[in-house]
Amino acid sequence: MLLQDDDGHLRALDWQEYEERMRRLLRLHYGADGVELRPGDGGGAAVESLRRYFAGDLGALAALRVATGGTPFQRRVWHALREIPVGTTISYADLARRIGKPAAFRAVGLANGANPVGIVVPCHRVIGSNASLTGYGGGIERKRWLLAHEGADVARTEGARRVSFPEQLQLVR
């Protein structure tokens, strides 16, 4: 599911079977009547960038414009997530240090989990301090696949199933 505003900013992105979670996050960020969902035409910059990313152009998501609700702290975390280079991972503690709040690693984890724009705001690049693949809203196998797709050094990626854009995401505009 992909949600863009009328100005082309990406507002939400989630795996198809997680539509209810996306709707819950939208209600939290924008209020019960804050978002009108309308079917899109399946085109646009975000859709094309995601297709390119899944086809192997790992830099294709960098220029996408994102606008989110959330608290100032959450938006700070989400901004920092976009600064994690493709193919690398960092821990929640490292992310907390990057935003100048070294003791806030649990709050960083909560903000990471409330990220409404998965993949583009790459919450999958955050791992446990012991290098474990802790939590991911789309499931650990997808996290493992995304990291392997990006060339991150992740142990045991052989179990990750192939996930392709057309069957897993739908455009909602």
Phi, psi of 40 (to 5 degrees): -100, 180
Residue type, 39: P
CB 16 within 8 A of CB 170: yes
CB 137 within 8 A of CB 26: no
- Told to judge if 123 belongs to the known catalytic residues of this protein, a careful annotator would answer yes
> Is 94 strand, coil or helix?
helix
Of 64, 96, 123, 127, the active-site residue reads 123
Q: Which residues are catalytic?
A: 123
